[in-house]
């Protein structure tokens, strides 16, 4: 038990849509990661598209604030950078979420999240009994390389959260927290978009 160490089994499951759950797989990207991947896709002639993921309505300016996007997996059923013969084809440009995987950020509410383990990863399924009630210190040992990346992912989200709170405190934006679904959908249809970016470059 003590010797368990995470090793990717190269099954590619994490780059694919979840079977029978169309649209459920979420590979989040920050705006600067989208820019980087668009560039690579154009160079390679790959059809790469994204849709908005984490967004907030800014009532003060009638704008939709976009924090993250997600990769559209259709029509392939997997990330367009996944290749059957090599797996991920953009290793050194992988988004934060993919670098940290199978550790991920679980959203607790609009502004709170925590580091968790994705139960859909094949390695996790294979070792579920040992990982089910794991404490943080063992998690760091088993996921020696991934844990620091998950922390980096976490810090980046915190930075964005801080930026939003600062903008709110300075009264530059006003996030509507009690908006009805109908009004939110109307806002999504008509309001302009503004991306919220942290200053950090994608590595």
Task: Summarize as ranges the residues that interact with ligand SF4 (CB under 6 A).
Answer: 8-15, 27, 79, 81-82, 88, 90, 94-95, 98, 101-102, 121-123
Least distance (Å) between residue 118 CB and ligand SF4: 8
For 37-90, the DSSP string reads HHHHHHHHT----EEE-SEEEETTTTEEEE--EEE--TTTTB-TTEETTTEES-
- Residue 47 or 190 having the CB closest to ligand SF4: 47
Least distance (Å) between residue 145 CB and ligand SF4: 12
DSSP letter for 19, please.
T
Q: Provide the 3-class DSSP secondary structure of residue 192.
A: strand
Which tokens belong to 128?
């579920």
- Residue 44 or 174 having the CB closest to ligand SF4: 44
Least distance (Å) between residue 78 CB and ligand SF4: 7
Q: How far from 182 is each of 62, 137, 174, CA to CA, in Å?
A: 15, 44, 19
Least distance (Å) between residue 150 CB and ligand SF4: 13
Rounded Cα gap, residues 4 and 161, in angstroms: 34
- Residue 73 or 173 having the CB closest to ligand SF4: 73
Check if the beta carbon of residue 29 is closer than 8 Å to that of residue 40: no
Least distance (Å) between residue 203 CB and ligand SF4: 14
The torsion region of residue 150 among left (phi > 0), alpha (psi -120 to 50) and beta comes to: alpha
Least distance (Å) between residue 101 CB and ligand SF4: 5
Q: In what order do the strands lie in the sheet with 69-71?
A: 28-29, 69-71, 50-52
- Residue 124 or 141 having the CB closest to ligand SF4: 124
- Residue 58 or 78 having the CB closest to ligand SF4: 78
- Residue 60 or 120 having the CB closest to ligand SF4: 120
């Amino acid at each position: 038990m003590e010797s368990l160490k995470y090793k990717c089994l190269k099954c590619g499951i994490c780059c694919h849509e979840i079977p029978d759950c169309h649209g459920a797989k979420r590979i989040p990207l920050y705006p600067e990661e989208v820019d980087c991947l668009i560039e690579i896709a154009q160079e390679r002639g790959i059809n790469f598209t994204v849709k908005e993921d984490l967004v907030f309505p800014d009532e003060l300016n009638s704008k939709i604030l976009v924090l993250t996007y997600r990769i559209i997996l259709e029509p392939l059923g997997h990330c367009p950078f996944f290749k059957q013969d090599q797996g991920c084809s953009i290793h050194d440009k992988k988004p934060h979420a993919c670098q940290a995987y199978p550790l991920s950020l679980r959203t607790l509410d609009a502004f709170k999240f925590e580091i968790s383990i994705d139960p859909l990863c094949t390695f996790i399924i294979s070792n579920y009994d040992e990982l089910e009630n794991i404490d943080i210190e063992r998690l760091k040992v088993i996921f020696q390389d991934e844990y620091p990346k998950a922390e980096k992912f976490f810090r980046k989200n915190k930075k964005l959260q801080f930026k939003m709170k600062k903008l709110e405190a300075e009264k530059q934006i006003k996030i509507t927290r009690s908006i009805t679904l109908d009004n939110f959908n109307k806002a999504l249809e008509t309001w302009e978009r503004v991306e919220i970016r942290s200053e950090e470059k994608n590595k």
